Structures are given as structure tokens and as C-alpha cells.
Amino acid sequence: MPAVPLHLSGRPDVPLTADCTQCFALCCSALGFERSSDFAHDKPAGEPCRNLATDFSCTIHARLRSSGYRGCTVFDCFGAGQQVAQRTFGGRSWTDHPELRSATFTAFPIVRQLHEVLWYLDEAQRLADTSTAVPGDIRALVGPLVAETVELAQLDPAGLAAVDLDGLRGRVGPALGAVSGAVRNGVRGVRLSRRLAPGADLLGADLTGRDLRGANLRGAYLIAADLSGADLRWVDLLGADLRDARLHGADLSHALFLTPLQLAAAAGDESTRLPTRLSAPAHWG
């Protein structure tokens, strides 16, 4: 989780990190999961978790991982929970107002996806504003997309149900790629293997100590890869699967489009260098 609560740049009314005290346990009720190594039991979407207390707290929060709920510890709503609870439904909970239950549970996953898009766009905006490598025509792409996504996330329940998420992602993806490409092109002197490419299968790969600066590993499969001591500055990690990847001593201080979920799914320690808006997960050794 980030060290401090984050909001969209210039928009303190748009949260990008979760505040569970302002939510009604929507991740524990609206979403579903299947029994697996990440979850100890099946839970259909719309059914409250068996570990959910009446005050919306988790009865096993302190021992989630040891109790078989690792999946809960790697989830992040990007602030969508409190956005839906406090703004979309005006602080009215689905327990006190059962008539809002269906609409609340429908709205949450939509807003959660919109806030994830905003997480990426916020970083792209920061990069565009601070990096001389990003030309004006690319910089101009980001602002309108931020405004559009904020507007969508603040729609009423009926409006949210009609949001075209695929269409939005189809416009946002190229803009993020353009920002990433401009920034990474400024990293010189590093010769990268053809194997290090978007969507690459790097399952269990030994990349210890490698200088990977400027690589495009968007959507790459880095499951159980050993990245200990690797230089991952300016590496595009959007959508990369970092489950059980070893990040001990790795430098991710300027990694691009890294999320709390990716960090929580990986393994690291106090020697792992992270971007300023992220901090090490509580379960890291």
C-alpha cells in the first residue's frame, strides 16, 4: 500500500488509494472469488464474505495469509470503495438501505476499474509534466483522458452501468504507451535481449542483477522470476504478472505503471527500492 493516501493530482476529491474506514466492505461483499491457493472458500459475487463482521471489519484481518486468504492481501480498489460508498451513494450503506444493495454491488466493480485507469493516467500526467522527453503532442493526449475518466467515475448508478470500459481502455492504452515510449527512449546505453518484450514469457526466469533499464515488459509473465538486485528503473510494468517474483534488492524507484497489487503479489524486502508513491507491503520480510 502507498505510504500516504493518494489522490488524483490536483483533485483531492478523487482518491486513488483505499480508505476502508469510509467504505462498506464492498470488496468483501460485491466481488466474488473461487476456492484456490488464494482463497480458502468459494464466495459468489454479491454475497458477503463469511469473515465479514457487522461493522464491516474483517474478523481475520491480522491473519489473512495464514488463514488461506492471500488473495485479499493483494487486492486494492484504488479508492473506488470510498468513492462509491460516500459519493455515488451518499454514505448510505447496503445494509442500512437494502434497496441499494444491487445498485451498489453493480457500481463498485465499474468504478474500481475506472479508478485503476486513473492510477495509470495520473502517473502518465506526472511523467508528461516533469519529463522533457515527453513531447507536447503526447502530453496533450493525457489531460482530456483524465477529465473524461473522472467524469465517468462520478456518474450516478444508471450512468455507471452504461460506461463503455473497453472503449475507454482502447483510448487510454495508446496514450500510456506513447508516454512510456517517450520516457524509455531517453534511457541510453542499455542493450536489451529480444526476449525482454511486451507479453514475454519469463516464468521463473533468472534475471538477477540484470540492467533492464528502459525495457518494455508490459503484460509480461514474470511469475516466480528472480529479479533480485535487478535495475528496473524506467521499465514499463503495466499489467506485468509479478506473482511470487523476487524483488529483493531490486531498484524499482522509477519503474513505470507499477501498482500496489503487483508489489503485494511479489516478494521483496527493505532493500527493494520503490517509487515514492508506493511503500512495501506489510507481509514483505
Question: Per-residue pLDDT for 1 more than 60?
Answer: no
Residue 238: which CATH number?
2.160.20.80
pLDDT over 60 at 195, yes or no: yes
pLDDT-derived band at 192 (thresholds 50, 70, 90) equals confident
Indicate yes or no: pTM above 0.75: yes
Instruction: Give me the number of domains the chain comprises.
Output: 2
87-136 pLDDT, tens digit per residue, is: 999 999 999 999 999 999 999 999 999 999 999 999 999 999 998 999 99
What is the span of the domain harbouring residue 234?
192-285
Shared domain for 173 and 206, answered yes or no, is: no
- Asked if residue 118 belongs to a domain, the reply is yes
Both 203 and 270 in one domain: the answer is yes
Within-domain flag for 60: no
Task: Based on the fold, state whether residues 143 and 196 are members of the same structural domain.
Answer: no
Q: Is residue 258 part of a domain?
A: yes
Is 3 a residue whose pLDDT tops 80? no
Reading the block at residue 19, the C-alpha cell is 480508505
Give pLDDT, residue 2. 53
DSSP state for residue 265 in the 8-state scheme: H
How remote is the C-alpha of 27 from its chain's centroid?
Answer: 14
> Could you tell me which of 93, 76, 94 has the C-alpha nearest to residue 27?
76
Whether 247 contacts 229, CB under 8 Å: no
Phi, psi (5° rounding) for residue 141?
-75, -30
pLDDT of residue 186: 81
What is the spatial distance between Cα 188 and Cα 258, in angstroms, rounded to a whole number?
22
Angle at 40 between CA 37 and CA 43, to 5 degrees: 115
pLDDT at position 194 is: 76
Q: Kindly state whether residue 101 falls inside one of the protein's structural domains.
A: yes
Q: CB of 172 within 8 A of CB of 149? A: yes
What local confidence, expressed as pLDDT, does residue 187 receive? 82
Together in a domain, 256 and 165: no
One-character DSSP codes across 166-206: HHHHHHHHHHHHHHHHHHHHT--S----TTSSTT-B-TT-B
Segment among 18-27, 68-77, 102-111, 180-189 with least mean pLDDT: 180-189
Residue 192 CB coordination number (10 Å): 17
Indicate whether 225 belongs to any domain.
Answer: yes
Q: Span 183-207, mean pLDDT?
A: 86
Q: What is the rounded CA–CA span in Å between residue 243 and residue 36? A: 15
The verdict on residue 65 lying in a domain is no
Residues 275, 178 share a domain: no
CA distance 109 to 122: 20
For residue range 137-186, what is the model confidence (pLDDT) as tens digits? 999 999 999 999 999 999 999 999 999 999 999 999 999 999 999 999 88
Q: What is the pLDDT of residue 189?
A: 61
Question: pLDDT tens for residues 201-245?
Answer: 999 999 999 999 999 999 999 999 999 999 999 999 999 999 999
Taking alpha carbons only, the member of 147, 123, 118, 144 closest to residue 134 is: 123
Residue 137's H or E segment, with its range, is: helix 136-153
